[in-house]
Chain A
Amino acid sequence: DVKVTQSSRYLVKRTGEKVFLECVQDMDHENMFWYRQDPGLGLRLIYFSYDVKMKEKGDIPEGYSVSREKKERFSLILESASTNQTSMYLCASKGGSGMTDTQYFGPGTRLTVL
């Protein structure tokens, strides 16, 4: 069974704080993704990584950065949290580069920025 874990289920931070969200997968997948999910909107891709130390911007990278120092771990960083970053953050991983490879999701982190 593929397992993707995220460091926190719920997180409350204050405006201006630096926030780290961590994601770990145990299936030796090359590809990892960070999304945010907001009511009425589809999943929006923030960043993805197809290999260690490699990263690519998604659709909404502004205000975020990422780090992938080890294959199993992909971190999302909010350098200076703002209230409009209050959201559900979902991490996913996928093996290989085939079209049919399914993305496996972590349980999500619900972040509230006050």
Chain B
Amino acid sequence: GQNIDQPTEMTATEGAIVQINCTYQTSGFNGLFWYQQHAGEAPTFLSYNVLDGLEEKGRFSSFLSRSKGYSYLLLKELQMKDSASYLCAVTDSNYQLIWGAGTKLIIKP
């Protein structure tokens, strides 16, 4: 079966760095997305990785290792507004998106 695993919840301090991991087992791989979802709102696109390595976009970076079936989202200089759920999703061999359950990130002052 297809499976994406993320931690359910993480807590971090304002100004710090946090890494949210995602491991996947899917039938084929055609890219991995990270989305941010604030409570009660729609998911919004953060990043896309299809090749191994690190993609940096401002305070957010996303890493992919296809051989390990592993990705992480790195958030630097955390702000209170970063409190949200972070969803990992993988495009499988049929180009369908398989979603993880999301990681709720709580930022404390």
Q: Which residues from chain A sit less than 8 Å from chain B, CB to CB?
A: 4, 40-45, 58, 90, 97, 99-100, 102-108
A99-B31, A102-B48 given as contacts; is B42 within 8 A of A45 (CB)?
no
| A45→B50 CA distance, assembly (Å) | 22
Q: Which of B30, B42, B87, B100 contacts A99 (CB 8 A)?
A: B30
Interface size classification for chain B:
20 to 34
> Which residues of A sit under 8 angstroms from B43, Cβ to Cβ?
43, 90, 105
Could you say which of A40, A43, A58, A102 has the most chain B C-beta atoms within 10 Å of its C-beta? A43
> Which residue of the partner chain A has the closest CB to B8?
A40
Is the pair B4, A42 in contact by a Cβ cutoff of 8 Å? yes
Is the pair A107, B41 in contact by a Cβ cutoff of 8 Å? yes
Is the pair B96, A45 in contact by a Cβ cutoff of 8 Å? yes
Is the pair B100, A42 in contact by a Cβ cutoff of 8 Å? yes
> Which residues of B sit under 8 angstroms from A97, Cβ to Cβ?
95
Chain B 54-80 residues near chain A, CB threshold 8 A:
none
Give the shortest distance, in Å, between A42 (CB) and chain B (any CB): 3
| A107→B50 CA distance, assembly (Å) | 27
> Which residues of B sit under 8 angstroms from A4, Cβ to Cβ?
42
Chain B 26-44 residues near chain A, CB threshold 8 A:
30-31, 33, 40-44
| 19 A-B interface contacts by CB (under 8 A) | A4-B42, A40-B101, A41-B101, A42-B100, A42-B102, A43-B89, A44-B99, A45-B96, A45-B97, A90-B42, A99-B30, A99-B31, A99-B95, A100-B31, A100-B48, A102-B45, A104-B45, A105-B42, A105-B44
